[in-house]
Amino acid sequence: MPENSIGLCHTKPEVLAKRVGGGYSEVAPSVIKAIHTNQEKLVIVNVPNRGAIGSLPDDAVVEIPCLVNVSGVHGLNAPEVPRLCGASSLPPRIMNS
């Protein structure tokens, strides 16, 4: 079986091989491997804000760099969002999703 960039053997389904995108089919296995083996890994994933970006609510979902290890996925502090792009400028349907 072919080995991917994180050392897991698998054959990517044809539909994923044709898809253009962010590569989450590679990110997910690397997150699982980091948690399972307690190897710290830096990945960019969607997580609850939890104060990582101060101008957005804690329960907003943000795509930020995270440290992954045996204790889970931990969002790292991110630069502040300019006021023009902050929470007050987001439509309510996004803020309340």
Residue 79: inside a domain = yes
* Residue 32 located in a structural domain: yes
Give the tokens for residue 44: 């960019």
Question: What residue numbers bound the domain in which 29 lies?
Answer: 14-95
Confidence at residue 1, expressed as pLDDT on a 0 to 100 scale: 45
Is residue 9 situated within a structural domain? Answer: no
For the chain, give me the number of helices (H) and strands (E)? 3, 3
**pLDDT, tens digit, for every residue of 15-71?**
766 766 557 777 888 899 999 999 999 999 999 999 999 888 999 999 999 999 999
Domain membership flag for residue 8 = no
Instruction: Tell me whether residue 6 is in a domain.
Output: no
Question: What is the Cα–Cα distance from 4 to 24, expressed in whole angstroms?
Answer: 13
Residue 24: per-residue pLDDT: 73
Backbone torsions φ then ψ of 52, nearest 5 degrees: -65, -35
The residues near 45 (Cβ < 8 Å, ≥ 6 apart) are 27, 31, 63, 64, 66, 73
Q: Is 2 within the bounds of a domain?
A: no
Q: Does the residue 3 lie in any domain?
A: no
Q: Is pLDDT at 73 greater than 70 in this prediction? A: yes
Number of domains in the chain: 1
